[in-house]
Amino acid sequence: MNCRPFAWLAGALLVLPLSAQHVQVTSVARRPGTDELWIANRGNDSVSVVDVVTGTTTHEIEVGVWPRSVAFSADGSTAFVTNQRGNVAVTKHAATPFDGTEVRGSISVIDASAKSVSTTLASDVGVEPYGIATSPNGAYLAVTAFRSAKLQLFSTTAPYALLTELAYEQDLSVLPPGTTVADVDSNFDGIPDLSEPRAFVLRSDSARLYVTHLTPGYVSVVDVALDGAGVPTGLTLVKKIDLNTYPYHPIQNPVPVQTLDSAGLPRFLDDVALSPDGATLVVPHVLHNVNHDVNFDFTTLWAGFEGDFANRVHPALSLLDATTDTFGGQVISHSLTASLEPAEHIAYGGPGANAGGGVLTLGSLDQPVLGTTVTFTVAGVQPGDFSILAFSETKVSVPSIFGTLLTVPTMVTSLPSNTLDIAVPNDPALENRSFYFQAGVVGPLGVKGLTNGVEAMLSSDAIPTNDLAYRAGQPGRVLYNAAGDRALLINRGSEDVFLFEVTGSDFRFLDVFPPRQGFTERTALDTTTPLGDLPLGVSLVADTSTTNDDALLYVHNESTRTLSSLRVDWQTGVLTQAAPQLPLLLGPDKMTASEIAGQELFEDASRAQTAGNFNNSCASCHFEGGADGNVWQRSDGPRTTMPVFGGADLTGLLLWKGTRLNMGETGPMFGGENGGHGLLSDEKQQALIDYHAIIPVPLNPNRDPATGGLTALAAEGQDLFFGTNDTGTNPFGRSAGCGVCHPRSEFNTFTMLDEPRGFTADHLDPVLTTSDMLGSVDPNCFSLRENIVAENIRNINSMVNVDADNDGIPEVDRNSDGFSDIETYLPMNIDTDSDFVRDDPNGYMCPEDGGPTLRLFNRNAALFSIPTKLGVFSTPPYMHDNSIMSLRTLLDPQTQIADPTYGNASYPGLGKFINEFHDVRGDDTFVPGASKVQVTLQTASAGSTVDADVEALLAFIRSL
């Protein structure tokens, strides 16, 4: 066994950059001037240090909870790590509850030589810090506070003082003077445009940042004012760039889309790269086609169409002009009607021989399209050497002293100047046939070595410029080479790497690793393959130890807990494995094997059981367990994506009608919508259940900044919410009645304990939510029948234009409160009854009593489950049709229509004017005291005001 697998890679890391470069956020960072890579292990609250000379993990340093990004001081003496959850465990939240010791985000400062934490920054760090990077001039650290929506700059020297910060407007419920809801939410989707700052790129002059915003689909442009020493003195928001080109909206413009072309609202923006010349920004994300027509027959028009979701979520790269800071609509994606077997050159057989300082590499930047000419190139050849090219239709693997022979040398030709043009006949008989090429390099003393192999897959189907060529499951990270003529896209969901040739803002597909042609599904969590599971972070380092124009790509595989090393030869466009996966953990894993397997299954788009042709995964709509902010058009009515924080006991009944017992019952979703077969073993099913339980509730920025507890106003609102008098400000025992449907906890008859309920009345037997036990615990499926489940789902008066008596006319006043319930917008689909059977092959099917027919369960159109209120501040807009744009509008619906700040004329009036269960104001203008909330609140008799009650209740709900 080679105990030094990385030794010949080390030269790449020992050279400092000659000039300042743009800087991106990453979980894998090179320590300047050394042969060390430092990797943030999110699931293990640690940072691993890898010595690339010996190919070993030398240290694992304990830091805070959920470390996300790593950066170094310019001299490499200090490492900085953002701990997204500070000291708050993933299972801790406001209902467990908090105890006042919570630090909701921190930065670990590590002595890089001693490999120990020297100090932890917490007091000035925002809530859930995510991205961190050192400015190119070395004078400051830039940090994004994800939940508190701040961009902060810190000194890189002790005591690492906060130098300046920019607070983005992130809450449509509480706006500062001088702004309106239309200013903060300019695309009217109910999500503040600049909430959730995520990753960023720092321009090489240290004077500008481009920041991505995860769910809103915006990039903010921020200028940094620098003093004479390059130290920042202030931040200025220059502009916000909307990446949306989608002409349809499920509320504003509900027009069904009946095309397989990539389309939709940009969602889940994380990374951003700036081209070396500073002209182009590249942002990987997904597009959510929320107006996909579920009633349209795609399968008849397009044979081989796999899964409805293949037309709902599209991988994409958006390109922005960084010279004008504008988005012209250039989106690189992939049409679902494109060939799955286009003309392509595919490297195989591993890297070539290392001969005389060069890695012998064969490749071609051309596509082998019928009737064209392709040029093969051999890289790594030394002066005085020459190359010979062999090819045939037979692939072999025969070891030799010169390397592995990879094709039968049926036809052999020399390569003048180490390049050769080959004409591809325009012969239909060659369609989808493969030819295998390999070169040998000969020097003055004879054969020096063999290259990698190249499979030429011939086809008449060319890959267009500015096309992904294949579906990229959850695009995550993008990197340019130093010359700016190549770019890499690392895809978390499909677990692969795309390589592009770049000319200005044009991207041309060159290669994917591992190959998609002849794709063989790898076993989940397999550490013997070149790439592991769920790549989270990357680092690209030019390899100065070779004569090739190449680099080493280090990939952090989160689920396999490994570091992959790939070689990228820019000249030939070839990706090969450079070293085996390297284990990163020295201590025990803090996640169980089942939780890890569940996370991998939740996010993976490369498994036949979860997706067809890498369509998507659970994370495509529930990124890190949250919601996508969209309402999806369904035949039985619009449905918003619910967050899945904290397991079934917090999430509540899964799906809006409570049709699933636990996260393991996802076969119909995987199989019907995503194109997979949806069959899960008992272990896989339990893994999803176990992972669901540790998807954390977001940490709340709307709490007391000093203690993390409730503010005085929120504490008063808590008393009104539950009808208590803990603050002494509610002596009349007034109650808004919220706690009836939103209890903090519920008595569990199995454990005989009060257990957290996440402020939702939704409830199922915990024995059923934590395992596949329905068949033995409840074989008659009594617990799923409507007369039982209806106790836990509520008529929240938000169903869309329901026609309860089937007379063809929606009922005007469905809840008999004297007010119209007709929508103020034109719905595409109205709500109907949602009947279902237990059709998940992974679970108990619920046969009808006395026969083989499956039992039919009924769900009335008026009934919806109530998802967890924990983290509700982070999941707008609200109600199942997204008609409630803010929490303020929920409590005080008149504001969305009449208030000049929260519902001015330029902001569309949506939703219902009256909601008897939530409307604190009660619409006294029309019918005094009509609201049930007002009946129990008795605002006037208590000497309070409606405005004060709204503010108190709003403060409490926003703090959950």
Instruction: Give one DSSP letter per residue of 325-369, joined into a string.
Output: TEEEEEEEB--TTS-SS-SEEEEESS---EETTEE-EEE-SS--B
Smallest Cα–Cα separation from 831: which of 857, 859, 855?
A: 859
Inform me whether the pLDDT recorded for 420 exceeds 90. yes
| DSSP alpha helix (H) spans, 237-343 | 298-301
Per the listing, tokens 């390899």 go with: 543
Mean pLDDT across 368-383: 97
DSSP state letters, 641-667: PPP-TTSHHHH-SBTTTT-BSSTT--H
Q: Among residues of the chain, what percentage have pLDDT more than 70?
A: 95
Distance CA 128, CA 85 (A): 6
As a whole number, mean pLDDT of residues 567-583 equals 97
The residue-averaged pLDDT of 220-225 equals 98
Are 855 and 778 contacting, i.e. CB atoms less than 8 angstroms apart? no
Question: Which whole number is the average pLDDT over 252-274?
Answer: 93
Q: How far apart are CA 359 and CA 450, in angstroms?
A: 10
pLDDT category at 926 given cuts 50, 70, 90 is: low
Instruction: Give the residue among 659, 665, 657 at the shortest CA–CA distance from 865.
Output: 657
Using CA atoms, how far apart are residues 673 and 678, in angstroms rounded to an integer? 10
> Is the pLDDT assigned to residue 15 strictly greater than 50?
no
Higher pLDDT, 942 or 483: 483
Range with the lowest mean pLDDT among 31-45, 671-685, 757-771? 757-771
C-alpha triplet 378, 276, 40: angle, nearest 5°: 90
Segment 26-30 shows an average pLDDT of 97
**pTM, full prediction:** 0.96
Which amino acid is present at 958? R
pLDDT band at 825 (very low <50, low <70, confident <90, very high): confident
Average the pLDDT over 384-392 and give the result: 95
3-class secondary-structure state, position 310: helix
Contact 272, 201 (CB under 8 A): yes
Q: Which residue has better confidence, 946 or 266?
A: 266
Q: How far apart are CA 953 and CA 869, in angstroms?
A: 13
pLDDT of 14 > 50? The answer is: no
Q: pLDDT: is 297 or 380 the higher one?
A: 380
pLDDT classification of 8: cutoffs 50, 70, 90: very low
Rounded to 10 deg, the angle between the 682-693 and 593-603 helix axes is: 90
Predicted pLDDT of residue 5: 44
Taking all residues of the chain, what is their mean pLDDT, rounded to a whole number?
A: 91
First-to-final CA distance of the chain:
54
Question: Could you give the 3-state DSSP secondary structure of residue 720?
Answer: helix
What is the rounded distance in angstroms from the CA atom of residue 359 to the CA atom of residue 362? 10
| Distance, CA of 343 to CA of 460 (rounded, Å) | 7
Residue 1 has pLDDT above 50, yes or no: no
pLDDT classification of 418: cutoffs 50, 70, 90: very high
pLDDT of 2 over the 60 cut = no
Q: Locate tokens 């190959």: which residue?
A: 515
Looking at the DSSP bridge assignments, the partners of residue 33 are none
Residue 118, both tokens: 């020297």
Quick one: average pLDDT of 760-782? 85
904 has a pLDDT exceeding 70 = yes
The mean pLDDT value for 476-494 works out to 98
Summarize pLDDT for 92-122 with one digit per residue, the tens: 998 888 988 999 999 999 999 999 999 999 9
pLDDT score recorded for residue 400: 94
pLDDT band at 328 (very low <50, low <70, confident <90, very high): very high
How crowded is residue 277: how many other Cβ atoms within 10 Å of its Cβ?
12
DSSP character for 612? Answer: S
For residue 97, report the phi and psi dihedrals to the nearest 5 degrees: -105, -170
Question: What pLDDT was estimated at residue 207?
Answer: 98
Beta strands across the sheet bearing 411-415: 344-348, 446-457, 434-443, 386-392, 411-415
- CA-nearest of 867, 883, 905, 897 to 828 is 883
In this predicted model, what pLDDT tens digit does every residue of 147-160 receive, in sequence order? 999 999 999 999 99
